[in-house]
Every structure is written in structure tokens, then in C-alpha cells.
């Protein structure tokens, strides 16, 4: 049977889709190749959120033109958000590509690949569908940590974001459906699940509006967390990405009271300036952001926050940028993804706002935030020295295979010497001896009863 290789760009949603697709192909008897050079089918699962990710994927696919000339039988495909967004346009730009498939057509990919293997070229599938995210078919037996899609799409239309156009409107899977998937995962050895949704705190709200049960106080996502929490065998629950607008009291209560919910929260902030937040259509102010974070922090002994920030959004002044630095400082993030604003064709910002912050200013602001963050994280990691943390063991560290790495409840990378009988997925207690801005280092100690 042919072998395949999938290269993934972008968010965890894409990683999860790639994993689901790999499982569909393995189920058909395909084998997984180590790299592009040895694969019969090469697929790029692309992201449209950042211009840089798009350019990277297009550039890399361009380089495969030579491979296609040498091995005309190899099947080249572009799938995911960029494929959804650009469809036939991608084939026009990259005529050596055989297959362009959008996010909603993922289940059709194995059949489309087979058509290409029979010699058909230039297939495009970008129809949208109302189907819910596909379930368990995307997980491998014995996988210790697994992504679970609980909803798809987004209704927020932040002015810079392409997601509502590529992934469509919000639609949530029923709780029973998600729980059944998590139960199957637990039965096959999974210990940690990461629940995925573009705007996960809005889980179930579109449906509640339809059936008349909506009120601003409800949080169907909190109900989902409780249901997943009750699944035996699951030790840890993570989720991404929440939106401050929907982090009401019911949400705060659930995430702070359920012990299996990891105490590390990725909450996109984007800017600390109320004026810019308004232009971004984010639907909250900087004080509201800080208020939600503070409400979580005051209920938990140890908690870590991470975020996404955009620098150089149209019209961003030095004052706006100072407000972002201030808010980041006030929250004290443990990690942040910082992006320089880039125009995404088709979005409100692209149509209405000139990209008027010079690239070198964006770059400088980016560097300043990274330097702030590095300083802060290095100092804040020191709080772990001498403390025992619970770690989900992942496996040998890439840099030093004599050590293993794993993640703490607060999502810190922890490196430690493994015991002889250690298995990936085991929970161990590690006493931290030293720290850097990236990792904690320590040794396994007996777990207190």
C-alpha cells in the first residue's frame, strides 16, 4: 500500500485534523512515511490565520515541484483552511499539486487520494457542510494524550480573523457524543484530553439560542467539562481556546472547582488598548479581561496563564502598545504567542483599515514583548524550586534522551531522570531543583498519599 506524509501548519485544530486523517489512511492500509522524500502521498494541512503560515506552506509546496518532476506518481495535496479559502486559486498558482481539499471535506480525502493514485489530477473539494466534527476515528490505540473536537466554527467575526469564513458558524456536538468519545479514549489508554473549539466557551450557546434555553448565566461548556470530568481513567482535561466574553461565573466555577481541569489557561488577549480591542471587534475591554483572569486566580493556589497578542494592528500607537505591555504585566503571563499583524484578505480589517504600522515598528514591538515575557517567566519559574509538581510523563527528551520530559498541571515542561519502570502517560511527582525560562528540572520523588 502507498505511504503518506502529512505536514501540519497552524493551530491544534489542524493538528487534530491531521491526526484524524492519518488514522483514516492507516485504517485503509496506508503506511506512514518518515518524511516527504519517501512518501507516495504528501499532504500539507494548511492554516489561513497568518500570512506567514500561508507563505511558508505555498513556498514549501513550490519546492516540491522538482520532486513531482522526478516522481510523477507522487500525489501532492493541500488541505485545510488555506485550501478552503483559496480553492482553485491554489491550483492555478501551484499546477503541480493534484488535490486541494477544504476543512469540511476531510472525510472525503482518502477517496480523493485514490482517484489521484489512479491518475486524476487537479481535484478541488471545498464545499461546506453542516456536519459536526468527526469523532473518534482520529485517534490511535494507546495514545496517552488526545485532542477531541467538541465544536466547529466561530460566530465572533473578530475584524482581523479569517476563521468564521473558513470554518463557518458555531455548531456543537452533543455532550453525550463527546463523553462517548472520551470514554472510548479512556478505555484505549488515554489519560489526558484536550477539548478543542475555535471559541470553546461559546460551546452549546448557538443551540441554546435555538431551543430557547439561552441566558447569559448559562455555560453549556461548564456542563460539558463536568461530564468529561466524570469519565473514569481520564486524569487531566485541557481545552482551547476560550473567549473572555463567555467566561461567566458558571465557567469560572467549573474550571476552578474540577480537579482534573489543568490549572493552566490559554486566554487570547490580543491587545491591552480598549480602542484597539474595539477595532478588533473583540467584545471586551482590558479591565474586563483582567477581571476574568483575577477571578480565576483568586480561587486557585497555583495557576498559569498564556495568551495570544497581535502587535501593529492598524492605527496602533505607542500609547496603545504601552497599554498592551501594561496589561501583560498585570496578568503576569507564563507564555504568549505574539504575532505581527498581517492582512487577511476577506476580513473586515482588510477591507476597512489600512495596514499602516511600519514593519520595523511591528518587529520592534514584537521583540519588546518577547523580552518582557522572558524576564517575567524566568523570575516566575523560580517559584517552583524546591516544590513537588505532578507531571504527566511524555517520553525521552529530544535534547537529552537520558532525561524524560513531561508537563505539569500548569503546562510547564518538566525534565527529570526516569525510573526503570516509567511508561509514557504515567503521572509522577517531581521535586524541582532548578529552572530556566523554558523548563523545570528535577528528580522523581515518592507521591504523597
Interacting residue ranges for ligand SF4, rule: CB under 6 A = 154, 156-158, 161, 163-164, 198-199, 243
Nearer to ligand SF4, 85 or 156 (CB): 156
Spatial separation of the C-alpha atoms in residues 1 and 79, rounded to whole Å: 22
- Measured from the CB atom, the residue of 157 and 337 that comes closer to ligand SF4 is 157
Closest distance to ligand SF4 from the beta carbon of 199 (Å):
5
SS3 category, 90: helix
Distance CA 314, CA 92 (A): 31
Residue 314 CA to chain centroid, in angstroms? 25
Smallest gap from residue 216 Cβ to ligand SF4 (A): 18
How far apart are CB 281 and ligand SF4 at their closest, in Å? 8
Nearest distance from C-beta of residue 164 to ligand SF4, angstroms: 5
Residue 331's closest CA among 397, 276, 415, 270? 270
CB of 352 to ligand SF4, least distance (A): 16
Q: Give me the residues paired with residue 35 across strands.
A: none
When the beta carbons of 169 and 438 are compared against ligand SF4, the nearer one is 169
Nearer to ligand SF4, 254 or 277 (CB): 277
Q: Which three cell numbers mark 323? A: 497599554
The C-alpha cell that represents 416 in the structure block: 527529570
C-alpha to C-alpha distance for 276 and 269, rounded to whole angstroms: 11
Residue closer to ligand SF4, measured from CB, 61 or 163: 163
Of residues 171, 149, 153, the one with CA closest to residue 162: 153
Are 24 and 52 spatial neighbours (Cβ–Cβ below 8 Å)? no
- Sorted by sequence, the CB contacts under 8 Å of residue 315 that are 6+ apart come out as 276, 279, 353, 356, 357
Residue (103 or 198) nearer to ligand SF4, CB: 198
Nearest distance in Å: CB 280, ligand SF4: 8
Residue 77 or residue 197: which is nearer to ligand SF4 going by CB?
197
Beta bridge partners of 295: none
Per 3-state DSSP, the chain is made up of helix, strand and coil in percentages (nearest 5) of: 40, 20, 40
Q: How far is the CB of 349 from ligand SF4 (least distance, A)?
A: 11
Please, what is the minimum distance in Å from the beta carbon of residue 142 to ligand SF4? 32
Q: By C-beta, is 165 or 214 nearer to ligand SF4?
A: 165
Return the SS3 of 47.
Answer: coil
Name the nearest CA neighbour of 83 among 8, 173, 4, 160. 8
Amino acid at each position: 500500500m502507498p505511504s503518506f506524509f502529512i505536514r501540519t501548519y497552524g493551530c491544534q485544530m489542524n493538528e487534530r485534523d491531521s491526526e484524524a486523517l492519518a488514522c483514516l489512511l492507516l485504517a485503509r492500509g496506508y503506511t506512514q512515511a518518515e518524511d516527504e522524500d519517501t512518501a507516495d502521498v504528501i499532504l500539507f494541512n494548511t492554516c489561513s490565520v497568518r500570512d506567514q503560515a500561508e507563505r511558508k506552506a505555498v513556498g514549501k509546496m513550490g519546492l516540491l515541484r522538482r520532486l513531482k518532476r522526478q516522481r510523477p506518481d507522487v500525489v501532492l495535496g493541500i488541505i485545510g483552511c488555506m485550501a478552503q479559502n483559496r480553492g482553485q486559486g491554489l491550483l492555478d498558482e501551484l499546477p503541480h499539486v493534484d488535490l486541494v481539499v477544504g476543512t469540511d471535506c476531510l472525510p472525503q480525502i482518502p477517496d480523493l487520494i485514490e482517484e489521484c493514485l489512479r491518475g486524476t489530477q487537479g481535484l478541488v473539494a471545498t464545499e461546506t457542510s453542516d456536519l459536526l466534527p468527526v469523532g473518534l476515528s482520529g485517534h490511535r490505540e494507546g495514545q496517552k494524550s488526545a485532542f477531541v473536537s467538541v465544536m466547529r466554527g466561530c460566530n465572533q467575526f473578530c475584524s482581523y480573523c479569517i476563521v468564521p469564513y473558513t470554518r463557518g458558524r458555531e455548531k456543537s456536538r452533543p455532550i453525550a457524543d463527546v463523553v462517548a468519545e472520551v470514554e472510548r479514549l479512556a478505555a484505549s489508554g488515554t489519560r489526558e484530553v484536550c477539548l478543542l473549539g475555535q471559541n470553546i466557551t461559546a460551546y452549546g450557546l448557538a443551540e441554546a439560542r435555538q431551543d430557547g434555553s439561552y441566558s447569559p448565566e448559562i455555560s453549556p461548556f461548564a456542563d460539558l467539562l463536568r461530564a468529561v470530568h466524570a469519565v473514569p481513567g481520564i486524569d487531566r482535561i485541557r481545552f482551547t481556546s476560550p473567549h473572555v466574553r463567555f467566561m461567566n461565573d458558571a465557567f469560572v466555577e467549573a474550571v476552578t472547582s474540577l480537579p482534573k481541569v489543568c490549572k493552566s489557561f490559554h486566554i487570547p488577549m490580543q491587545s491591552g488598548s480598549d480602542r484597539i480591542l474595539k477595532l478588533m471587534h473583540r467584545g471586551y475591554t482590558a479591565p474586563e479581561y483582567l477581571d476574568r483572569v483575577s477571578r480565576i486566580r483568586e480561587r486557585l493556589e497555583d495557576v498559569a496563564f498564556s495568551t495570544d497578542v497581535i502587535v501593529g494592528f492598524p492605527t496602533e500607537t505607542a500609547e496603545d502598545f504601552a497599554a498592551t505591555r501594561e496589561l501583560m504585566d498585570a496578568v503576569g503571563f507564563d507564555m504568549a504567542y505574539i504575532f505581527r499583524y498581517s492582512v487577511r484578505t476577506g476580513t473586515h480589517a482588510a477591507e476597512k483599515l489600512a495596514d499602516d504600522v511600519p514593519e520595523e515598528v511591528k518587529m520592534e514591538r514584537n521583540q519588546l514583548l518577547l523580552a518582557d515575557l522572558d524576564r517575567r517567566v524566568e523570575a516566575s519559574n523560580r517559584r517552583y524550586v524546591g516544590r513537588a509538581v505532578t507531571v504527566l510523563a511524555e517520553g525521552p527528551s529530544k535534547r537529552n534522551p537520558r532525561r524524560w520530559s513531561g508537563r505539569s498541571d500548569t503546562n510547564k515542561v518538566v525534565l527529570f531522570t526516569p525510573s526503570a519502570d516509567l511508561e509514557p502517560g504515567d503521572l509522577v511527582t517531581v521535586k524541582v531543583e532548578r529552572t530556566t525560562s523554558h523548563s523545570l528540572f528535577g528528580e522523581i520523588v515518592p507521591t504523597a498519599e
